[in-house]
Amino acid sequence: MQGKWSVKFISGGPELPEPHSTVRLESWTGWSEAAGRFGGTALYSIRFDAPPSKATAWTLDLGDVRESARVRLNGRELGTVFMRPFTLRADGLKPRGNLLEVEVTSLAANRIRDMDVRKAPWKIFHDINFVGTDYKPFDASKWPVRDSGLLGPVVLSALEAFTPR
């Protein structure tokens, strides 16, 4: 899907990164230091016109999503996807002025990593010994930053009727 995506971080932490606009979908972790530490939900939105077609039914393929997405088209809920293929039926497409909104929620891995890098107290458990797989104190500070967000490509395709012979 061609055009400019607006991205607004709506919930999560440790802080909400600044809004972002892009024509190229990629991991939000590279946009800023705050986005690289963020774990939570961002709202992606784009306005577009329907492709020229006589189709009345459409499918929306979100491409690569890290990790789950709740999708609305023109204010109507299309559904939530959390595994491949990140594809939904997209009914209710108008010829012009469509609004696609995709709320993407990431894993908490980058946020946990950041808290361990900063040595922030977060492992506050009164009845458990929190250890890693090696039975040493759990430490996520060496984890790599994981891709997050809507990585795309987002593709809208006409569904065609199939008549078996």
Domains in the chain with CATH codes = 5-108+147-158 (2.60.120.260)
Residues facing 4 on adjacent strands: none
Question: What is the Cα–Cα distance from 84 to 66, expressed in whole angstroms?
Answer: 10
Q: Specify whether the CB–CB gap between 161 and 55 falls below 8 A.
A: no
- In the β-sheet with 155-158, what is the strand arrangement from edge to edge? 87-89, 58-61, 155-158
Q: What was the pLDDT predicted at 69?
A: 98
Over residues 64-117, the pLDDT tens digits come to: 999 999 999 999 999 999 999 999 999 889 999 999 999 999 999 999 999 999
- In 3D space, the residue among 51, 59, 47, 60 whose CA is nearest the CA of residue 97 turns out to be 47
pLDDT at site 129: 74
| Span 131-149, pLDDT tens digits | 888 888 889 999 999 999 9
For the beta sheet containing 68-73, the strands, ordered from the edge strand earlier in sequence to the opposite edge, are 20-22, 5-13, 39-48, 98-105, 68-73, 76-81
Residues 43/25, Cβ–Cβ less than 8 Å: no
